[in-house]
């Protein structure tokens, strides 16, 4: 991930392209499993027009949604920009009128009052509808066949937060979605609203809480009983925003915080745990057993994002931006507000991790992510020297056996986030496929790799004839979850 966020988003493989593309029948090497009937949908972004400020966050790039449609052993591809209000008004003007990441005080006067979300973080499917997400705004609904933008969605007015996380969770036993919005009542507000949205898309339960300080709550965890709310050190307030600063500053003197409360309560049982400096971005999964809550998460040691400056003026320290598979344990029966942290594997990993989502909230032993395997070759002559180890491999962690196995994508390749696809008819945890895009830095094209999720052998590879827009998050959905067969027939 560092390689994406440092200097390469505006050059080389990730240079902006502005184009929207479609391939009816992609070129394939190997084979496409015939039981894969569904979509791999990716959301990421690129700056359609260059940022107004050179120190802006790459996270501020314009949202782009792309879709690999698998059916009958063939794959089609489609990619489109999300028509956010920002995209539309910038396109009309022919330039970027929006300032620093989530700081409207730095926007041009011409776009004052225009929602500046870029909706570039993750896709979501719920109740048969497709959305793009960014944690500073509501979901934007997208037509799953054409990828055309439909517009902001507030669940028929039931969703009261002005914002919606990019990482909702699902209870696989009920199909209900749990999600939240932070800065829920406006810029730098300390309100967080949690919701349960039933499987039909109706808001069924709300919890309103306050946070001790306003920080990135990028992800959270759900158990059968609790919600777990991690944030740490990133900080904002109206004063620094009015002063024209980027939305987040890193303040390592602030405690790392993890809040835990009942998922069906009213928030009055919320308990805050505190710990030393960490950077909390993504989680794998969590469970509640009696008074014990455990959280599996690939957390970083310190500030991961070089473009969110350290508030003490110290330079960004890449050695702190390392993530590991970690287990956090909380004792709700104790008055102690600390947690225990175990690092389960000593291999540094990328924090974009996945589990077999059918085991979300439930006992689970398999986790997947990407990492830089430095024992593998890298053809610097053909791929170009990026000055660091490429993210060239998938890792499969078996927590029960304490065993890590891996898949190597190629000696000119850099992998984006991995996704898990369950094998049809099998309910065994982790039985299925791993898929994700690889950037072939030599051929300057994007490939989709399909790997057996148990043996980690390659099954097939889909070649795009171009560099696809970068991905933040991607997920697989079976065709039925989107009613795709009917919607495609109507289109």
Residues that bind its own copies (CB under 8 A): 15-27, 48, 74, 77, 81, 91, 94, 444, 464-467
Cα dihedral: 185, 191, 192, 194 (round 10): -70
Q: Whose Cβ is closer to its own copies: residue 80's or residue 247's?
A: 80
> Residue 187: helix, strand or coil by DSSP?
coil
Q: Whose Cβ is closer to its own copies: residue 51's or residue 275's?
A: 51
Instruction: Please state the closest distance from residue 469 (CB atom) to its own copies, in A.
Output: 10
Instruction: Please state the closest distance from residue 15 (CB atom) to its own copies, in A.
Output: 7
Instruction: Please state the closest distance from residue 232 (CB atom) to its own copies, in A.
Output: 38
Return d(Cα 173, Cα 194) in angstroms, integer. Answer: 19
Return d(Cα 242, Cα 2) in angstroms, integer. Answer: 29
Q: Whose Cβ is closer to its own copies: residue 94's or residue 290's?
A: 94
Instruction: Please state the closest distance from residue 488 (CB atom) to its own copies, in A.
Output: 15
Q: List phi, psi (to 5°) of 439.
A: -90, 115
Instruction: Please state the closest distance from residue 99 (CB atom) to its own copies, in A.
Output: 20
Q: Whose Cβ is closer to its own copies: residue 50's or residue 276's?
A: 50
Instruction: Please state the closest distance from residue 109 (CB atom) to its own copies, in A.
Output: 22
> Residue 59: helix, strand or coil by DSSP?
helix
Q: Per-residue DSSP letters for 246-314? A: -S-EE-TTSPEEEEEEETTS-STT-EEEEESS-B-----EEEEETTEEEEEE--BSS---TTS-BTT-P
Q: Whose Cβ is closer to its own copies: residue 23's or residue 389's?
A: 23
Contacts of 328 (CB under 8 A, 6+ apart): 258, 294, 295, 296, 297, 339, 340, 341, 342
Q: Whose Cβ is closer to its own copies: residue 94's or residue 387's?
A: 94
Q: Whose Cβ is closer to its own copies: residue 75's or residue 391's?
A: 75
Distances (CA, A) of 389 to 307, 377, 397, 458: 21, 10, 21, 22
Q: List phi, psi (to 5°) of 78.
A: -150, 140
Tell me which residue of 395, 399, 423, 417 sits closest to 408, measured CA to CA: 395
Instruction: Please state the closest distance from residue 27 (CB atom) to its own copies, in A.
Output: 7
∠ CA 418-424-425, nearest 5°, is 135
Instruction: Please state the closest distance from residue 25 (CB atom) to its own copies, in A.
Output: 6
Q: 394 with 353: CB under 8 angstroms? A: no
The tokens describing 250, both together, are: 């890193």
Q: Whose Cβ is closer to its own copies: residue 16's or residue 323's?
A: 16
Q: Whose Cβ is closer to its own copies: residue 93's or residue 400's?
A: 93
Return d(Cα 59, Cα 318) in angstroms, integer. Answer: 18
The tokens describing 6, both together, are: 């440092």
Instruction: Please state the closest distance from residue 326 (CB atom) to its own copies, in A.
Output: 40
Q: 281 with 299: CB under 8 angstroms? A: yes
Instruction: Please state the closest distance from residue 17 (CB atom) to its own copies, in A.
Output: 4
Q: Whose Cβ is closer to its own copies: residue 73's or residue 318's?
A: 73
């Amino acid at each position: 991930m560092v390689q994406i966020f440092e200097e390469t988003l505006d050059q080389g493989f990730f240079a902006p392209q502005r184009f929207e593309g479609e391939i009816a029948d992609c070129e394939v090497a190997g084979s496409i499993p015939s039981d894969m009937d569904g979509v791999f949908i990716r959301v990421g972004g690129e700056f359609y027009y260059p940022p107004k400020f050179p120190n802006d966050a790459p996270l501020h790039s314009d949202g782009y949604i792309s879709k690999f449609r698998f059916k009958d052993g063939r794959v089609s591809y489609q990619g489109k920009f999300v028509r956010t209000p920002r995209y539309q008004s910038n396109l009309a003007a022919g330039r970027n009128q929006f300032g620093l990441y989530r700081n409207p005080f730095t926007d041009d006067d011409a776009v004052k009052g225009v929602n500046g979300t870029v909706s570039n973080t993750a896709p979501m499917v719920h109740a048969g509808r497709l959305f793009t997400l960014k944690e500073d705004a509501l979901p934007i609904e997208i037509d799953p066949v054409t990828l055309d933008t439909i517009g902001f969605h507030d669940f028929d007015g039931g969703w009261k937060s002005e914002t919606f996380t990019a990482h909702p969770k699902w209870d696989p036993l009920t199909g209900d979605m749990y999600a939240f919005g932070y800065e829920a009542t406006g810029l730098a507000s300390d309100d967080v609203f949690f919701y349960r949205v039933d499987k039909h898309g109706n808001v069924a339960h709300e919890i309103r809480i306050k946070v001790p300080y306003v920080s990135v709550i990028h992800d959270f965890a759900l158990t059968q009983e609790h919600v777990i709310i991690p944030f740490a050190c990133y900080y904002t307030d109206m004063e620094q925003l009015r002063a024209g600063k980027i939305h987040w500053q890193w303040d390592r003197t602030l405690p790392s915080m993890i809040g835990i409360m009942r998922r069906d309560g009213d928030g009055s049982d919320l308990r805050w745990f505190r710990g030393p400096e960490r950077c909390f971005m993504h989680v794998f999964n969590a469970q509640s057993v009696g008074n014990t809550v455990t959280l599996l998460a690939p957390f970083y040691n310190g500030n991961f994002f070089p473009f969110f400056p350290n508030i003490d003026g110290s330079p960004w320290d890449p050695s702190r931006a390392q993530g590991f598979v970690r287990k956090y344990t909380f004792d709700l029966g104790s008055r102690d507000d600390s947690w225990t942290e175990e690092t389960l594997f000593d291999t540094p990993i990328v924090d974009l991790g996945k589990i077999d989502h059918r085991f979300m909230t439930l006992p689970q032993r398999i986790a997947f992510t990407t990492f830089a395997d430095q024992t593998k070759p890298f053809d610097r002559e053909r791929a170009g020297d990026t000055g660091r180890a490429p993210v060239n491999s998938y890792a499969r962690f078996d927590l029960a056996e304490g065993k890590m196995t891996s898949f190597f994508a190629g000696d000119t390749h850099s992998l984006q986030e991995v996704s898990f696809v369950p094998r049809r008819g099998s309910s065994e945890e982790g039985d299925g496929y791993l898929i994700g895009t690889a950037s072939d830095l030599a051929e300057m094209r994007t490939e989709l790799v399909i790997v057996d999720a148990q043996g980690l052998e390659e099954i097939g590879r889909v070649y795009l004839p171009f560099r696809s827009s970068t991905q933040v998050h991607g997920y697989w959905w079976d065709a039925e979850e989107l009613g795709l067969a009917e919607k495609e027939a109507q289109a």
